[in-house]
Amino acid sequence: MDRKRGCGVLLPVSSLPSKYGIGCFGKNAYEFVDYLVGAGQSYWQILPLGPTSYGDSPYQSFSTFAGNPYFISLEDLIEEGVLTGEECDAADFGNDETSVDYERQYLERFKLLRKAYERSRITENPRFLAFVREQDYWLSDYALFMAVKGRFDGRPWSAWAEDIRLRWQNALDYYREELYFDIEFQKYMQFKFYEQWGKLKAYANEKGIEIIGDIPIYVAMDSADAWASPWLFKLDGDNCPVQVSGCPPDAFSETGQLWGNPLYNWDIHKASGFEWWIKRIAHCFTMYDVLRIDHFRGFDEYYAIPYGDETAANGWWEKGPGMDLFRAVSCRLGERKIIAEDLGYMTETVKQLVRDSGYPNMRVLEFAFDERDTGNASDYLPHNYPRNCVVYTGTHDNETLVSWFHNITPKERRMVREYLHDFRAGTEEISESLICLALGSVADLCIIPMQDYLGLDDRARMNKPSTLGMNWKWRLREEQQSRKLQEKMKRLAVTYGR
């Protein structure tokens, strides 16, 4: 990372205002970039951009390389002439401008995108043909995967007919011919996604805004990645998982967390010179300027759970690839801007891996005030920060500052007030003081969730881990991007030399 102080905002693309039910790469995204520039910011951090599956989590995607078709701007397609405003306005995306209705997106958006594809004469577009050639290393398998998934009514690939589940050549040939136009439709959506995202990113970069992207450590079992390259994962001869991912039992969960992703066969990856990982990370750097690697500790040691277990209680730790992977990445790709997400319980070996990598790690203020830490020694307290780190008030997985301060224990609230030396302020003022505390720290980079700048409570929370149904939905309203808040953000950025 650059040693220049900087600051930015965490806001998922899905949370942008838009006319059609979910944030996308349309005019509101460009207006948000302009807003960040006027607010004195230099970074926009987003969540993973992959196509989402059951549960709508961007961390459980059908592909680590593909983009989410929901983010394709329908307004841009109207301007192209492949859709009409009347068609888009007639679609029912729900009436709540503060929340994404993913079911409505699924039911309505693909019908519109299919119409756009059928009117596009896309095979006459030389840019599309070039895109298909250049991205073939992932695009062909992904497009076939999604088309076959449609043929099997959306079922996971583990429930497909044996011939295509195991990728027998005669089955591959059959479905490539049988589903030719469905496959081409998938390629069309990826072309439009990357075309529109490329323009938006270029606009942001021209305005001095760098994009911080996010890469989950694991891929979903129901993904083109696992289906097309089963040897890269701990799967048996029938391509069923042997072990899956998760976290062990701790103070927050007696049975741990069962994520269920297939685990990597690290011996195979290492023998290939980590070729798949290098392609994956190189692909990310065509999309983002800075890359946050989620669950960094999994590269030191990862938690393995027997497949079929209903909890994580019977898992065990195994060694990951460590610095071998990151040395290979550096050797092939050169020095890149990477952030190590090292939150949670950190062993000394994980801390050493972070130090050896040289990547800045994360410090979260909400983790700093724990009544069990009586020695003021928390790594999350600003007086303990090194410069080479990224400070957050909270992340997408945490409560908003307002709700966090309301819900912590009286002793912890007293710890916050003592640290701020502020014994009178209300919750809203304390939240603002914590933002200033983060901005004023020595950390080279400070990222604040948009919800915290707005002083919102947990009704605007993005995700509550280990829950389903209410996550990833919050959306920003246009009127919340006020001139008053923008001026305040810029004043703080200037005050704290960011």
Residue percentage of the chain with pLDDT more than 70: 98
Per-residue confidence (pLDDT) for residue 232, from 0 to 100: 98
Which pLDDT score is estimated for 425? 81
Which run of H or of E encompasses 147? helix 136-151
Percentage of residues of the chain with pLDDT beyond 90: 90
Q: Is residue 141 part of a domain?
A: yes
Band of pLDDT at residue 2, cut at 50, 70 and 90 = low
Average pLDDT of span 390-396: 97
| Length in residues, the chain | 498
| Residues identified as active-site | 294, 341, 397
Please report the pLDDT score of residue 304 as a whole number: 97
- pLDDT grade for 492, boundaries at 50, 70 and 90: very high
Is 19 among the domain residues? Answer: yes
Give the full edge-to-edge strand order of the sheet including 316-319: 257-262, 243-247, 301-306, 316-319
Q: What are the tens digits of pLDDT across the range 5-61?
A: 999 999 999 999 999 999 999 999 999 999 999 999 999 999 999 999 888 999 999
Q: How is residue 206 written in tokens?
A: 């021209």
Does the pLDDT at position 1 exceed 60? no
Residue 13 located in a structural domain? yes
The predicted-structure confidence for 275-302, as pLDDT tens digits, reads as follows 999 999 999 999 999 999 999 999 999 9
Residue 408 in domain = yes
With a cut of 70, say whether residue 75 has pLDDT above it: yes
**In this structure, what is the dihedral angle of CA atoms 461, 463, 468, 474, given to the nearest 10 degrees?**
50
The answer to whether residue 484 sits within a structural domain is yes
φ, ψ of residue 260 to 5 degrees: the values are 90, 5
Structural domains counted in the chain: 1
Does the residue 269 lie in any domain?
A: yes
> For residue 199, what pLDDT is reported?
98
Whether residue 1 is contained in a domain is answered as no
| End-to-end Cα separation, the chain, in angstroms | 15
Write the CATH number for 161: 3.20.20.80
**Taking a C-beta distance cutoff of 8 angstroms, is the pair 475, 98 a contact?**
yes
Structure confidence by residue, pLDDT tens digits, 80-134: 999 999 999 999 999 899 999 999 999 999 999 999 999 999 999 999 999 999 9
In a domain, 15, yes or no: yes
Q: Which domain holds residue 225?
A: 6-495
| The two structure tokens encoding residue 221 | 């079992």
- Say what the pLDDT of residue 347 is: 87
At 369-379, the pLDDT tens digits run 988 775 666 88
Render pLDDT for 399-427 as a digit per residue (tens, 0 to 9).
999 999 999 999 999 999 999 998 888 88
- Cβ 286 vs Cβ 343: under 8 Å: no
Q: What is the spatial distance between Cα 332 and Cα 216, in angstroms, rounded to a whole number?
A: 21
Mean pLDDT on 469-492: 96
pLDDT single digits (tens) 142-197: 999 999 999 999 999 999 999 999 999 999 999 999 999 999 999 999 999 999 99
